Amino acid sequence: MSPRLLRMLGWGSAAVLGLLTVTVFVLVLIPAKDAVLPTKIKYGLVFDAGSTHTSLYIYRWPAHKENGTGIVSQVEGCSVAGPGISSYADNPAGAGASLKPCLDRAMKIIPAEQQRETPTYLGATAGMRLLREENSTKAEQIFAEVSKAIGEYPVDFRGAQILTGSEEGSFGWITVNYLLQTLVKFSFAEKWEHPQDTEVLGALDLGGASTQITFQPGVPVEDRNTSVFFRLYGTDYSLYSHSYLCYGQKQVLKRLVAALHQANLSAEISHPCYPQGYQENLTVAELYDSPCVQAPSSVNPDLVLSVMGTGDPAACATAVQRLFNFSCGAQWPCGFNGVYQPPVRGQFFAFSGFYHSLHFLNLTGGLSLSFVNTTIWKICNSSWEQVQELFPMASRTQRRDACTASSYTLTLLLQGYKFNYTTWPNIHFVRQVANVDVGWTLGCMLNLTNIIPSEPLTAVTELPRSIWIATTVLLAIMLILTFCLLTAMCYQRNSSGYEQL
């Protein structure tokens, strides 16, 4: 073999070995950056089947959970047309059919490949609790039909059930505190953490058939029937929570008319909370169509009653107060009707009916209790003509109930839940927080994520694009030089063979 060829082989081998060494050195010393691949997003559906209407809420959260609880956000809310499902007692199939437009909407939002693993729940509240008391068979038929309707969609339907009052109140409490970031917040260290030295907030909920109060008391809860425990984001919470059935706004308005009727059993009812000059007719059967009101046995259900407003604020306040029993006795402190309640403590968020009844009178902006009292008194002292002028865009029912609803709200908060002039500023009336409707459904979804399996984050080693390009070029050069080296070696062997011949 010629000396020139040997020198070529030597230099080629050295070049290849040198490039290999440089490449390995570069790959070892390049500062790798750990990057987390986008996590899979999971979805969940929750139907809020309330006493007056039903809504579907679409939630989502990353598959990786924080301390056992998903970081859940609301994607969209869909209002179901028509009344609450309890109103379909004589037409159960109608209850199921009413849900389908919102389910169709959800299927357009959730990716098709994830729909079958989307947990779906229907929670019914006080309206269905009342129907179950009145006629359990009809309640079961409604649940069968709504379950059938939801089961026709490609979702992971996990059942329809009636929430207990404690669950409804507690889930509302979770919603409020989650949205206000008292349970978990994103820190400057770019991770979700439990906030230190942060007081949680109480929750006040007023629906159509029940009302709930939930808060973290400063003393041990003495009645275990009102004691609730939660573990969220790695932290334990001990709460007081109670729900009063038949003290929702719709049922209270009905109970008040029934109480006025029973006072003299006359076909003409003077209503001090209705504006003076207002008049309407209704039958006894319509008035006593709820388990919250019991009709006198001697009254003909077809009898037509005439209800006339008298616009008397003092008499209105007295009539509303008669719906409560404020006596607590010596056993323990109470809210009303003898139900144990420790003293209210901390800040409270009041939503649903609490917000709507006072917002109608523009009284939700952190106003003083004296101003709120004065405004409600003026409304209750107004004539039907004046009320119509004050609220030209409102419905007839809203105008009629403006005095009654606000008077009841004030009585419930002050004499029922024992707020006063000192603690009144601690109540914040809200409909939404961070563009999310405040209610029990988000809290329910957060709680349910504790039983939804989590998936670990997937980490990869990510290199800057320029480094990848340089490395690729080096490898290409190595391959070319290796090819040249092998070609030269083959040439050497062939030349040696010729020389031997």
- CATH of the domain spanning 41-198+443-451, picked from 3.20.20.70, 3.30.420.40, 3.40.640.10, 3.30.56.10: 3.30.420.40
Token couple for 493? 């062997």
Q: What is the CATH number of domain 249-429?
A: 3.30.420.150
Q: How far apart are CA 409 and CA 379, in angstroms?
A: 14
Is residue 458 over pLDDT 50? no
Element (H, E) at 308: strand 304-309
Contacts of 367 (CB under 8 A, 6+ apart): none
Is residue 465 over pLDDT 60? no
What ranges do the domains of the chain cover? 3-30+463-500, 41-198+443-451, 249-429
DSSP single-letter state for residue 393: T
Q: How far apart are CA 131 and CA 241, in angstroms?
A: 23
Strands 54-62 and 41-49: antiparallel
Bridge partner list, 340:
334
Mean pLDDT for 421-436 is: 93
Residue whose token pair is 């939404």: 432
Residue 75 DSSP SS3: strand
Is residue 491 over pLDDT 80? no
Lowest-confidence pick of 124-138, 226-240, 279-293, 481-495 = 481-495
Q: How far apart are CA 36 and CA 222, in angstroms?
A: 48
Confidence of residue 68 (pLDDT cuts 50, 70, 90): low
Task: Please check whether residue 286 is in contact with residue 306, taking contact to mean a CB–CB distance below 8 angstroms.
Answer: no
Note the pLDDT tens digit of each residue in 87-145: 999 999 999 999 999 999 999 999 999 999 999 999 999 999 999 999 999 999 999 99
What per-residue confidence (pLDDT) applies to 263?
A: 93
Strands 227-232 and 348-352: unpaired
For the entire predicted model, the pTM comes to 0.80
Note the pLDDT tens digit of each residue in 341-398: 999 999 999 999 999 999 999 999 899 999 999 999 999 999 999 999 999 999 999 9
Percent of the chain residues topping a pLDDT of 90: 66
What per-residue confidence (pLDDT) applies to 78?
A: 96
Bridge partner list, 230:
237
Task: Please check whether residue 285 is in contact with residue 301, taking contact to mean a CB–CB distance below 8 angstroms.
Answer: yes
Confidence of residue 451 (pLDDT cuts 50, 70, 90): low
Residue with the bigger pLDDT between 222 and 482: it is 222
Residue 460 DSSP SS3: strand
Residues noted as catalytic: 168
Whether 41-198+443-451 and 249-429 share one fold: the answer is: yes
**How far is residue 398 from each of residues 60, 387, 408, measured CA to CA in Å?**
35, 10, 14
